[in-house]
Amino acid sequence: MTELDQQQRDHLRALDDAYARVLEAQRLDGVLLYSGHPARHFGDDQHASFAAYGHFIHWTGQAELAHCWLLVRPGQVPVLYLHAPADYWHLPARLPEAPWVDHFRVVPRDRADPPALPPGRHAVLGDVAPADASALGAELNPAALVTALDELRVRKSDYEASCLREANRCAMQGHRAAREAFLAGGAELDIQLAYLGASRQRESALPYGNIVGVNAHGGVLHYQHYALEAPPRRHSLLVDGGHRHRGYCADITRSWAGPDADPLFAPLVAGVTALQRRLIGELAPGVSFVALHRQMHEGLAALLVAHGLVTASPEAALASGITRAFCPHGLGHLLGVQVHDVAGRLDGEGHPLPPPAEHPALRLTRELEAGMVVTMEPGLYVIPMLLAAHRGSPEIDWERVDRLASHGGIRIEDNVRVTGRGPDNLTPQDE
Ligand code: GLY
Ligand code: MN
Ligand code: MN
């Protein structure tokens, strides 16, 4: 057994105990987790790409297994119903030869419908048709159970942290290749293909669609295209790229000045990077992530003033909301088997913790705890749609801002584990 195998065995034993506690508290005899199935294009025989339900991945690490079911009952060996029909069109699903498989009783099936349940009160979770849940006599996605199981994913085990670290290592290989492809004159598609090749993954296995923005596209927060031609002048590159390892996601962003960058741009990239490192240094149990998000805005206000984009004081820039026009997203979010992991806006008892009204995009409003893994991703963008509301404001040096518009934006994003001994940055740091 490798050290990772041992960590995984401990992870699964802890899940056995935690599920037993939750199910007993909810007076349930068991829960059936459905991995899910890919959506089919309407009127067609082609399917969309697929990722399994998070709670199924939490046990199995298998993000690509469709039509599978996992039955968990306190005190019993969990049963994994593996959909593996005899098929000459496709390769039937197979589990890896790995020690973790012995934690389960594996039942291969050629049927995709739910397996029969033993007597007792059960819930079924996942993308299940209500008629199928009724036929089973099971409650479908009861909110209290989902909330309690989501909470089990908030603090990562050592095994999960190891998987997230490995996902980060692989993603960073992609980021290095992406930067080289950009500097060599590649178009967005070339950069994306270089990323996929170096990180050894097909596009449909990514935890989210990579964002590859050259020039102004870097200011489109979830830019979704890959241009086939490089622009004649290359000002900037923003790559937000991921990777999965055993189901666990990396979510890393890097921003680079291009050969035609305005002299204002590279110092701003350095400024956002320094701000990000400073904020990572603040990560500790007991810290409010909302307070850290506000600190990001204070840091952005100072940066905007220091680089001459804003002529008012940092305090005035904060008060007038200008920093929110330059960065409309949150400082970060929980990360795990989903890139935007669950329960970021609930307290430990499942009560809602909505974001402050002026920061509606903030996905993590909890107090930090040891074991949480968060992204730290301050950004600074020139987004014409948002800056339009401030056009004419004498607090902004529009000549400088307009010079930066063709650079889109900057985001620096790492994945960090919160511990009682200081932040553990899972993202390899290239200098
Ligand atoms: N890649 C999406 C995000 O950073 O949240
Ligand atoms: Mn990202
Ligand atoms: Mn992110």
> Which numbered atom of ligand 1 lies nearest the CA of 208?
1
Does residue 379 form part of some domain? yes
Domain that holds residue 35: 3-152
Chunked into runs of 10 residues, the chain (431 residues) has average pLDDT values of 97 98 98 98 98 99 98 98 97 97 98 97 98 98 98 98 98 98 98 99 98 99 98 98 98 98 98 98 98 98 98 96 98 99 97 98 98 99 97 95 98 99 97 63
Q: Whose CA is nearest to atom 3 of ligand 1?
A: 251
Pocket mutation for ligand 1, best pick of 168, 175, 206, 208 (most atoms within 8 Å of C-beta):
208
Does residue 270 share a domain with residue 381? Answer: yes
**Number of structural domains in the chain:** 2
Which residue, 99, 130, 152, sits at the end of a domain? 152
Looking at the CA of 415, which ligand is closest? 3
Spacing, Cα 411 to ligand 2 middle (Å): 9
Number of Cβ atoms within 10 Å of the Cβ of 70: 25
Q: What percent of the chain has pLDDT over 70?
A: 100
Does residue 179 share a domain with residue 121? Answer: no
Number of Cβ atoms within 10 Å of the Cβ of 262: 16
Helices and strands of the chain, counted as H and E runs: 12, 14
320, with CB counted inside 10 A (0-12, 13-18, 19+), is middle
Does residue 223 share a domain with residue 136? Answer: no
Looking at the CA of 334, which ligand is closest? 3
Does residue 169 share a domain with residue 54? Answer: no
* Pocket flag, ligand 1, residue 341 (CB < 6 Å): no
| CB half-sphere exposure, 430, CA atoms < 13 A | 16
* Pocket flag, ligand 1, residue 240 (CB < 6 Å): yes
Does residue 294 form part of some domain? yes
Q: Whose CA is nearest to atom 4 of ligand 1?
A: 251
Looking at the CA of 416, which ligand is closest? 3
pLDDT at 431: 63
Planar angle of CA 314, 429, 198, nearest 5 degrees = 120
Does residue 174 share a domain with residue 121? Answer: no
Does residue 205 form part of some domain? yes
Which residue pairs from 190-199 have beta carbons closer than 8 angstroms and sit at least 24 positions apart in sequence? 190/230, 191/226, 191/237, 191/239, 192/226, 195/239, 195/241, 198/173, 198/174, 199/170, 199/171, 199/173, 199/174, 199/241, 199/243
Contact 224, 382 (CB under 8 A): no
Does residue 430 form part of some domain? no
Does residue 229 share a domain with residue 147? Answer: no
Spacing, Cα 413 to ligand 2 middle (Å): 6
Does residue 146 form part of some domain? yes
**Dist. CA 268–CA 410, nearest whole Å:** 8
Q: Has 17 been labeled as part of a binding site?
A: no
Q: Has 367 been labeled as part of a binding site?
A: no
The CATH number that applies at residue 19 is 3.40.350.10
> Which numbered atom of ligand 1 lies nearest the CA of 222?
2
**Dist. CA 323–CA 327, nearest whole Å:** 6
Contact 410, 379 (CB under 8 A): yes
Q: Which residues lie closer than 8 Å to 250 by C-beta, 6 or more apart? A: 164, 167, 168, 170, 171, 207, 242, 243, 244, 415, 426, 427
**Dist. CA 163–CA 426, nearest whole Å:** 10
Q: Has 413 been labeled as part of a binding site?
A: yes
Does residue 352 share a domain with residue 216? Answer: yes
Does residue 381 share a domain with residue 244? Answer: yes
Contact 423, 281 (CB under 8 A): yes
**Dist. CA 332–CA 377, nearest whole Å:** 6
The DSSP secondary structure of 242-297, one letter per residue, reads: EEEETTEEEEEEEEEE-TT--TTHHHHHHHHHHHHHHHHTT--TT-BHHHHHHHHH
Which residue, 123, 152, 181, sits at the end of a domain? 152
- Alpha helix (H) ranges present in 155-240? 158-183, 188-198
Does residue 292 share a domain with residue 237? Answer: yes
Does residue 431 form part of some domain? no
> Which numbered atom of ligand 1 lies nearest the CA of 363?
5
Does residue 167 share a domain with residue 315? Answer: yes
Reported as a single tens digit per residue, the pLDDT across 97-147 is 999 999 999 999 999 999 999 999 999 999 999 999 999 999 999 999 999
Does residue 94 form part of some domain? yes
> Which numbered atom of ligand 1 lies nearest the CA of 332?
5
Spacing, Cα 141 to ligand 2 middle (Å): 29
The CATH number that applies at residue 372 is 3.90.230.10
* Pocket flag, ligand 1, residue 251 (CB < 6 Å): yes
Looking at the CA of 335, which ligand is closest? 3
pLDDT at 280: 99
Which residue, 101, 124, 152, sits at the end of a domain? 152
Does residue 171 share a domain with residue 37? Answer: no
Does residue 314 share a domain with residue 258? Answer: yes
